[in-house]
Amino acid sequence: MLSAIDQGLIYALLALGVFLTFRILNFADLTVDASFTTGAGTAATLISHGYSPWLGVVAGLAAGSLGGLVTALLHTKFKIDPLLASILTMLGLYSVNLRIMGRANTPLLNVETVFTPLRDHNLIGTWTSVAILAAIALAVKFAIDWFLSTNFGLAVMATGDNPAMASSLGVSTDVTKIVTLMLANGLVGLAGAVMAQYQGFADIGGGTGLILVGLASVILGNAVLGTRFMVLATLGVVVGSVLYRLVIYFALLWDFVKAQDMKLISAVLVVAALVLSQSKALRGAFSRLSPWRADKDAPEPMTVVPNRFSPLAETDAVSFSPDAADGLEDGTARETDRRTRGASSPPAAPVQRSAAAVTSSAGHLEGRAAEAAGTAAKPAGEPAPGAGQAVDDTEEAI
């Protein structure tokens, strides 16, 4: 079981990358399946040629970032749909990965890896390895928390929430997408480089279906800890990754479940997580288990109108309900319509005010003229009281 926790903590790096693209940037990035293999193959090739395993880790991170860069450029510069851009990159990287590895499988037997000291002391799959990998995963998690708290990180979240609004505020949405996709796929490549050294080999099909692993981790973690606070949201991703691997571990203990059924189990887990995350009863149960989610006065930095096409749109208990979202959209539409009608005839208000002022002045003059006419019936020699003042006021008003 501790080995499953080890793997869950390594895959947490991948899940954090998926969190950045799907949850923060709102970008459907399928490059994950290929960039994981790119990182693993790059690290395995370097190590098998006698280079330092730590250099392999760094090279795996850089190789994954380049995969994310290709997807980002296809989308931002060539205006290709995000999903299609990531699929094209994934297909192209399959051939690139074979070029890097030279064959379908690269073993790392009898070579030094970053896990060699732990393996020599039989510490793999013990609480020692769990503690070390947990420290690494938490360090990356806190680094992401810091990144998202910077001005650029806030610009990334604004890009994911409303690209048009972010662009109108001077944010270069192309830059935020490029940097975030490179960072996310760099984490995926890092996970691949570490996992290749943990397992002792890199395989060309090792990344197939890992986007489901990342999605399942994000959904499970956010369902348990929620997204009310960014610190808890990213921690939930790490916890969800470990929970996912534990579910796989216990499923494989059953006699009728075989190793080749892992992809099917992954798909079933994602479907179950998506369905259960929309259950009000389950949300209420998780809210009672995590009291901070029930505090209505607590800030909610990630509460936005969800993307209805996103698989993560309904995973959190504090997300907008459909009625609230429709009400917000209706209010926005009414405000937009009011501003549009107001902008189409800007001189109307000043003209109306001028007409009202003229009408008021005319009424005032008529009243003073009637008063003057009433005094005209008096003897001619006797001046009408206030007549001169009325004339003066009339002239002044005119």
- Which one has a higher pLDDT value, 283 or 256? 256
> Are 154 and 33 within 8 A, CB to CB?
no
Structure tokens belonging to residue 10? 């390594």
Question: How deeply is 311 buried, as exposed, middle or buried, from its count of CB atoms within 10 A (0-12, 13-18, 19+)?
Answer: middle
Which pLDDT value is given to residue 301? 44
Which pLDDT value is given to residue 285? 62
Which pLDDT value is given to residue 349? 45
The residue type of 15 is A
Sign of CA dihedral 320, 184, 224, 208: positive
Which pLDDT value is given to residue 281? 65
Tell whether the model's pLDDT for residue 297 goes beyond 60.
no
Which pLDDT value is given to residue 224? 79
What CA–CA distances, in Å, run from 32 to 67, 182, 226, 304?
Answer: 9, 11, 24, 25
Tell whether the model's pLDDT for residue 309 goes beyond 60.
no
Which pLDDT value is given to residue 294? 54
- For the question of whether the overall pTM of this predicted structure is more than 0.95, the answer is no
Which pLDDT value is given to residue 228? 78
Which H or E element spans position 153? helix 151-161
Per DSSP, 18 falls in state H
How far from each other are the two terminal CA atoms of the chain, in whole angstroms?
95
Percent of the chain at pLDDT > 90 equals: 53
pLDDT digit string, tens, across residues 94-128: 999 999 999 999 999 889 999 999 998 999 989 99
Domain boundaries in the chain?
2-320, 322-353
Which pLDDT value is given to residue 201? 93
Residue where the block lists tokens 């501003």: 339
> Mean pLDDT, to the nearest integer, of 62-81?
96
What CA–CA distances, in Å, run from 64 to 86, 119, 322?
Answer: 13, 27, 37
- Which one has a higher pLDDT value, 129 or 285? 129
Could you tell me which CATH number the domain at 2-320 has?
A: 1.10.3470
**φ, ψ dihedrals at 133, nearest 5°:** -70, -35
> Are 201 and 188 within 8 A, CB to CB?
no
Tell whether the model's pLDDT for residue 316 goes beyond 90.
no
DSSP lists the bridge partners of residue 106 as: 202
| Angle at which helices 82-101 and 53-76 cross, to 10° | 150
Percent of the chain at pLDDT > 70 equals: 70
Distance CA(330)–CA(125), nearest Å, equals: 55
DSSP lists the bridge partners of residue 318 as: none
> Mean pLDDT, to the nearest integer, of 234-247?
92
What CA–CA distances, in Å, run from 214 to 160, 250, 298, 329, 333?
Answer: 18, 19, 28, 31, 36
Tell whether the model's pLDDT for residue 219 goes beyond 60.
yes
Which pLDDT value is given to residue 65? 97
Which pLDDT value is given to residue 293? 54
> Mean pLDDT, to the nearest integer, of 272-291?
66
Which pLDDT value is given to residue 267? 82
Which pLDDT value is given to residue 142? 96
Q: How confident is the model at residue 287 (pLDDT cuts 50, 70, 90)?
A: low
Hey, which of 230-234, 279-283, 299-303 has the most confident mean pLDDT? 230-234
| Angle at which helices 151-161 and 173-199 cross, to 10° | 100
Question: How deeply is 382 buried, as exposed, middle or buried, from its count of CB atoms within 10 A (0-12, 13-18, 19+)?
Answer: exposed
Q: How many helices (H) and strands (E) does the chain have?
A: 16, 2
- Which one has a higher pLDDT value, 177 or 338? 177
Tell whether the model's pLDDT for residue 318 goes beyond 50.
no
> Are 9 and 238 within 8 A, CB to CB?
yes
Which H or E element spans position 100? helix 82-101
Please, which residues have CB within 8 angstroms of residue 220's CB and are 6 or more apart in sequence? 236, 239, 240, 243, 244, 273
Q: What's the mean per-residue pLDDT of the chain?
A: 79
